[in-house]
Structure 1
Amino acid sequence: LYDKWWPILGVDAPEADHPLWATQDTNTRSGSDTWRCKECHGWDYKGADGAYGSGSHLTGFVGVLEAAAQGSEYVLSALMGETNPDHDFSDVFAEQDLADMALFIAETTVDYDVWVDADKLAIDGNLEDGQLVYEEICTGCHGPEGTAINFSGDDSDSEYVATIAGGNPWELLHKVRFGQPGTAMPSGIDVGLADQEYVDLLAHVQGLPEEAPALAGGRLYDKWWAALNIDAPQDDQPLWATQDTNTRSGSDTWRCKECHGWDYKGADGAYGSGSHSTGFPGILGADSKPAEELTGWLDGTANAGHDFSAFLDENQIGMLVTFMQTGMVDTAEYINDDKAANGDPAAGEKLYNVACSRCHGDDGKAINFGDEAEPEYLGDHATGNPWEFWHKASYGQPGESMPSGVGTGWAHQDFADVLSYVQTLAAEESE
């Protein structure tokens, strides 16, 4: 609740500013952000005396550690507006919610100064022990390198677990201890982690990578403007005029996949016929090319008509290059000509339930990619375009925080198994 209470309570986020927000003028956020307890009192629970004592989150409001020292009854009275009528949460919290919040503040907040030093580093953390904790409770969702989920959904400013651990270790500790609101993330307190284990875990995560260029490149290959949160190009890609079989126009013509296919084989693959046919070659052999050559194909050096440098900077072009060198998979071994997957549906179901069902639902129908008249669910994608399914399962959806199967550490057979299982969901829909 302290983090973000409305997903926990299953209610709409407040739209107006919190009544006390007008008493400060340093933090320019508005609306629901102003109702998050952490926005005033900080992830370290110290308010103006802690990390939020400067910077864009500065409000000047006090922390909650002093209130915690006065006990849960005092905290409860503050939450009900008895110490300040503008701090009355009884209109949005039920009685039990108020009690839970009071107990959290009074009994479970800690002074993180004994865990985190002035440089934001874990104090006396054991890296080996931290790795063991991470592998036991974190790897399944965040992957061995912590890059399976980009929390920002923006590959121009990625945010992985190491990003948070290095920049805001108090936030990481809070979320590890209590979980992420509205998700199935386990709570370290419920798991039974000891204080030292949190410090060890923080030390380990602070050593994980803050960038994942191959994963980001996979999302750029899909739809780079969505991945980078920038405007889509309006005109046709210059080379589009050299073909006349694919009638799409505008931004669609700038998607790498539109020319080179979800299977990366271009005219020699699934896009060799049908409405997506362009005749352009695939890029599956790019993994044998040096980075300089691939960069030249993306910045216009090799072909002025294939210049993306007006939209992508050097680092972003590098992401695509890394993806082409290390991220593409020839799926011919796993996807048959009739689009059926060579996988084990039973094994795929287990992976699906862990990694996919929380968003797509047990039956794959929680998200309708089509419309009410012509619904399109996950099973339809898996049967109609298994190569697209494989790519998105591998790298995620551009502009979203969808987990990456590659980042999670899945093997090729894992993708085939999940694809095989999801294809059965489409069969169930048609029965």
Structure 2
Amino acid sequence: MRYGEATVTVVDPRSYMTYQPFLPEAAAGNISPRHVVVPLRRVLPKAEVLTGRVTTIDQDRKVASIAPLVGEAYELPFDYLVVALGAVSRTFPIPGLAEQGIGMKGIEEAIGLRNHVLEQLDKADSTTDEEIRRKALTFVFVGGGFAGAETIGEVEDLARDAAKYYKNVSREDMRFILVDAADKILPEVGPKLGKYGKEHLEGRGVEVYLSTSMDSCVDGHVVLKNGLEVDSNTIVWTAGVKPNPVLSRYGLPLGPRGHVDCETTLQVKGTDYIWAAGDNAQVPDLVGRKAGNENAWCPPNAQHALRQARVLGDNVLSGMRGFPQKDYSHANKGAVAGLGLHKGVAMIVMGKMKIKLKGRLAWYMHRGYHGMAMPTWNRKIRVFADWTLGMFLKREVVSLGAIETPREEFYEAAKPAPVAAAPKEKTEAKAKEKTEEKAKAS
């Protein structure tokens, strides 16, 4: 933009952007959690960054209601609006899920999962109660897509390495379970690589149950639809995503699954000043429709979101200056997935040819692609540095569970000591003495 042409305001409840494909590696300790996030104020120095939430949008007045972290809500006027809220975990009304489940959509959850898993090993190592040990060493993952398969692969690697430092815990004592309602895992890389991924995980001792789902997990008692029942302290939920539900408050046209309904130019249907992109947008897939699929939509993944962002930026400027809008069109380039250290699958699309890789080479493709896609050179260098150090140094297996309640120890030290109550007999004796003294005085 030209100098002084516009003011760009970014409203987000967090002051950073998370590169979600690296969450499994952050949970396993291969990448420092700080290197998976990008601070908005640092990478957007010319934008105004507000930490808060957009609660409502008045399209007639062109104002957005902002709820800041502290203080009262206020209105923010705009001329052009970009809606890019992303997605949240797709959940179902399963008894116990809200209380027991662990998601994998944010860096906080990845850190929490890592600390939680290592804490379970600590529990199992320090007790002789077989029931407590069994529950601590049983890990259940629900969802066999990229997030689920990658997370269980990385966490199994972490637990296997950590067990070497525990005298009373071995990998054979642990039980890893992967559950998916579909009849295959990793559908994004095709049936053959998905089958390889399943066989690979099973070869590492992971139990994979397909075409089934979880009925309940109250108090950690997991009941699957296929009849299997286990007790577990660790239930990781990665069964898909859905558009951010706050979209329903904005008065925007929504598709059948809750996405913002967009034109091929990424403009929201029925408007000429609102655009949307990423996981919360329903964008027609022009490549798929040219191939004969009239109902093709762009899938919610980083490959499309990154490319949609570039087209959206150009189209916003074109709208400001009165130029025609450009259609978004992108042919799938394939998909890569890591299943732990030195293990992965990859499908590379080159024209009409599909190259399928598995094992170490696919793992290199996975790291190379996502390493270069990581925003900013600062974070790219830090991520590659973490990987390089990991080649020569052993994996860290330190649990920092207290990070979730950092003030608890200080509170216990600082809270006032309770006043000791006088024994009943002592109190009665003192009362009797006072009565006798009064009688003598009278």
TM tier, shorter chain?
under 0.3
> Where is the helix percentage greater, Structure 1 or Structure 2?
1
Larger Cα Rg: Structure 1 or Structure 2? 2
* TM-score, normalised by the number of residues in structure 2: 0.27
Relative CO higher for 1 or 2, CA cutoff 8 Å, sep ≥ 6? 2
Flag the structure with higher strand content.
Answer: 2
TM-score (norm 1): 0.27
